[in-house]
Chain A
Amino acid sequence: MSEAIASQPQRNIISRLWNDKETRSVIIQIIAFAAIFAFFFFMVRNAISNLESIGKDISLDFLSQPSSYDISQSLIEYSSRSTHFRAMIVGILNTLLVAVFGVILATLVGFLLGVLRLSKNWLTNRLAYVYIEYVRNVPVLLHILLLHGIIVHSLPLPKNALNLGDAAFLTNRGFFIPSPNFEPLFWVVTGLFAAGIIFSIWFSRYAHKVQDATGRHYPVFWINLGAIIVVPVLAYFILGSPITWEIPELAGFNFKGGMVVRPEFVALWIALSFYTAAFIGEIVRSGISAISWGQTEAAAALGLSRGRILNLVIIPQALRIIIPPLTSQYLNLTKNSSLAIAIGYMDIVATIGGVTLNQTGREMESMTIVLLLYLTFSLLISSFMNWYNKRIKLVER
């Protein structure tokens, strides 16, 4: 046998390499990588040469030109004299606003739905089930358009606005609320609030340490609540309410003064949140169901109360299952916010990827910027969630 092999030295080096599992996998990887690289190289080169052939260059100079268009919802100072770059920042902030509010609401509603789905009450259980199946089987764009249509068509015009205590007004142009003007003394309240947060972080650690050492248990939640909320609120009233409110007033076509929450924001926010919540509900349900009943029984046998069983035994284990799929739901919500353009909410796609693109004709540059921005947001969310996931992971000793 060994003679036979030796008599055909290096019969075929390629087939020998190919038959070796390790080298084969390396070869395949190199080929795949080269193919992908060549493909993208070709695409980019082709795009650049095509642009060149019609005389278009690639340049970001347009970002410093005046934008010449207005944006209805802006969190920073902005006018049509501002630059395209500033318009982009306005768009980024609007996207982040709806994403952050959306993630918060979706999480709250999602967890509630998940718990309702586990309810032993037949009706609640079925209602949550029907809701989830309906919402997640209809495209989110339809939810957004439907909700926007409902708000615009069913709420009254500004002159017949729903008057809420002469301070807030509900119309189909938006929800007009008083805006606060902070007087100097208000900064004391802000300072106390910040101090309260710092105190509560320290106190939680301290209480934990004491409990570890002595077994003594402090009512951490209530003391922190007092430090963060009650103390600043008391200070606010003792200082004589150092905020004046600017009340919106009907002037001509619309309300003026105060703050306004636009129907476009509300429609997008609510639709995205409730849509994503349906998925989160299922994730939460499966996460909790995955914890075996034996754990609950064992904890009960130790004499833990129901609440503590949930807090100390079920939820920490369920979270480990819930967090990874939850991350992709957060990513989905952020990316789905790009549907905003359908109803005229001025997000990234509508500003830099929309009006700016069209006014300057810089589609290559604008779309690349939009792409990179979404990629950045998604990677940030992912890395935060991964960090959190690592923190709550089972500590193996």
Chain B
Amino acid sequence: MRVTKSAAVAAALSLTAFAAQAATLEDVQARGELNCVVTTGVAGFAAPDENGRWEGFDVDFCRAVAAAVLGDGEKVKFIPTTGKTRFTVLNSGEGDILFRNTTETMSRDADLKLTFLPVNYYDGQGFMIRKELGVTSAKDLDGASVCIQTGTTTELNLADFFRINNISYEPVAIETNEEGITNYSGNRCDVYTTDASGLASTRAALDDPSAHIILPEIISKEPLGGAVRHGDDQWSDIAKWVVNALINAEELGITQANVEELASAAGDNPSINRMLGTESDMGAMVGLDAQWAVRAIKAVGNYGESFDRHIGPDTQIGLERGLNALWKDGGILYAAPIR
């Protein structure tokens, strides 16, 4: 009798042993490493460089969070995922946070049980086509073969766009971005479609970028942002405010170069003082120390610096700030204040 009782207790314990944990911050700090879900490789956003070090705009956000939480932007394990596997990896607990050109939608938020972080890139779906075909509008694409990366919101937008405009097309749905580009450059498709930022990145990687144009139509709203699992508010608050801190840093003129100097003593701008922990301890509200934002900015710079370094006009990708300029510069980037 005693034997069966203790066996039952052991069984009950082991059944709960693998249940998903709620306290992500503690897990990450105990592990000493942040598991960040990224793409399998989109130049400028997240891709390993020639030394195998992950680089890119999305990668910087991972590093910023790692710096805030662990004190070191290098303590990140990147988990490359396809469009199809990303949410499963996050929801299963394998990843702690996701920065993967991911569009915030209601169904993903509510049904897939994700909590989205502030938008870090305002995007929209576009089309890339060979110049020599002489097409100037997406409405002239009747009958075209279109390469899409499967497992993204692009498939839905594409189906809707062609149906609304009453034109036909042949979808060629490919698993990864790389295979998609191979098929497009091999002329299997006339058109390649994905978010405009992705198109710019793809175009830069083609043999002769100038032979391809991006059509003017943007057929969807794609607010791209990071995401965490539902149900851990402390963790989502940390991630959310790290993103906000990077955007606010640009607004307040805090850069990678001057952040340590500004943080050494309280200055006359209370907004800067609050963010950098020289006045009131904002970090304690989310379970971190006062220096959390200093470390994040020190690791990757402010939003604008990261943008310019990876995808800005001077890079191969060559994206303009456009909608992603700060609100005071004519864009719609508007982060909630840290106070």
Residue positions of A touching B, CB distance < 8 A: 38, 42, 45-46, 49-50, 53-56, 68-72, 79-81, 149, 152-153, 157, 172-173, 251-254, 256, 263-264, 341-344, 346, 350, 354-355, 357-361, 363
Contact = CB atoms under 8 A, between A and B. Distances in A.
B277 to A, nearest CB: 33
Closest 4 CB pairs of A and B: A80-B159, A361-B112, A358-B151, A253-B144
Contacts of A256: 143
6 contacts: A55-B230, A70-B162, A253-B141, A354-B173, A358-B84, A360-B111
Contacts of B188: 152, 172-173, 263
A288 B108 CA distance: 58
B172 A344 contact: yes
Contact of A50 (B19, B87, B155): B19
A251 B169 CA distance: 12
Contact of B88 (A254, A350, A360, A363): A363
Contacts of A69: 155-156, 158-159, 171
Given A55-B230, A254-B144, A363-B88, A153 B175 contact: no
B113 A54 contact: yes
B222 interface: no
B145 interface: yes
Contact of B15 (A46, A70, A252): A46
B171 A71 contact: yes
A121 to B, nearest CB: 40
The residue in B92, B141, B170 that gathers the most chain A C-beta atoms within 10 A of its C-beta is B170
Nearest to B17: A46
A354 B151 contact: yes
B278 interface: no
Interface string B133-156: 100000001111100001110011
A88 to B, nearest CB: 15
B231 interface: yes
B217 interface: no
Contact of A361 (B108, B144, B179): B108
Given A54-B113, A54-B229, A253-B190, 19 more contacts: A46-B15, A55-B230, A55-B231, A72-B170, A72-B171, A152-B186, A157-B187, A252-B144, A253-B142, A263-B188, A264-B172, A343-B174, A344-B174, A344-B179, A350-B150, A355-B151, A358-B83, A361-B87, A361-B107
Contacts of A252: 142-144
A300 to B, nearest CB: 56
Nearest to A38: B11
B124 to A, nearest CB: 18
A254 B145 contact: yes
Contacts of B156: 68-69, 359
A54 B231 contact: yes
A341 B18 contact: no
B256 interface: no
Contacts of A72: 170-173
A346 B158 CA distance: 17
Contacts of B179: 342-344
Contact of A355 (B87, B155, B162): B155
B150 A361 contact: no
Contacts of B187: 152-153, 157, 172
B14 interface: yes
B186 A55 contact: no
B26 to A, nearest CB: 17
B183 A54 contact: no
B329 interface: no
A64 to B, nearest CB: 15
A245 to B, nearest CB: 21
Contact of B84 (A46, A68, A70, A354): A354
B27 interface: no
A127 to B, nearest CB: 31
B31 interface: no
A50 B183 contact: no
Contacts of B112: 361
B18 A149 contact: no
B160 interface: yes
A391 B158 CA distance: 53
B231 A53 contact: yes
B163 interface: yes
A355 B145 contact: no
Nearest to B82: A358
Contact of A49 (B19, B84, B143, B175): B19
B145 A173 contact: yes
A173 B160 contact: no
B271 interface: no
